[in-house]
Structure 1
Amino acid sequence: MNHETNNYVTNNYGSAAIVNGGRSNTVHYSPDDAQLRVAVKQLTDSLAELRRHLTPEQDRAVEESLPALIPDRAVLRERGGVLENITRIATAVGAVGQPVEAAVAYLRGLLGAG
C-alpha cells in the first residue's frame, strides 16, 4: 500500500491509517496478506544469500528488481516479469539458486500465477 503526501510515497504494511484528501481510512490486512509478506521476505532473504554467487551483471539485475518486491498482490502481478527474471538468474547459477527458485514458486502460487 502506498501513502502519498507532498509528493512523497511511503509503503505501509499491517494495520495502517491512511490519510487521503483529509479523510482517514484504517486498513486491516487479512491472514493472506501476512502470508504474502512472509513470502516476499523469504524471497528477499534468499536473494541476499544468492547475490554473493552472481556475476556483476546478474547482481545488478537482482538489485534493480528489489524495489518491485513488495507485499502487494496487484503490484506483484503487474510486475510478473520481475519474478521471471529472478527465476532465470537463479536457474542459471545452479543448485545455489534453488532456494530462490522455491521462494519465487511459492510467491507465484500465492498470487495465483503458479
Structure 2
Amino acid sequence: MSEVCTKCGLPKDLCVCETIAKEEQQITIKLVKRKFGKLSTIIEGITDKNINIKDVMKKLKSKLACGGTVKEGNIELQGKHSQKAKECLIGYGFSPSAIKVKEEI
C-alpha cells in the first residue's frame, strides 16, 4: 500500500501540496550592492514548509552558474541574476504573476 499525504489525503504519487504551495507564494527578487561594489540577487518570500528552499537554491545556483546561500529564509545569489532567476522560478512551477522584480539598487 502506498503512503498517503497527511495534508491532502492523496497518495504521495498524486500529492498536490507542493504545487499549491508554489502558486500561493508572493516572491520578491531584488538587487543589493555589497562590499566593493559587487551585486547580489536576493529572493524573498519562499516561506512554505512544503517547499525545500535549499533545493530551490541548489537548482538556481546550477542553472545560473553562480554562488549562493540561504540566509534568514532568503536565497542570496552572487551577481546580477534577477531576470534569469525569475525565468527559472517560473520553470520550477512558481506563478509568474506572484514574482515581482525590483531592479533599482
TM-score over 0.5 (shorter chain): no
**Per chain length, whose mean CA-contact separation is higher, i.e. which structure has more relative contact order (CA < 8 Å, sep 6+)?**
2
TM-score normalised according to structure 1 size:
0.30
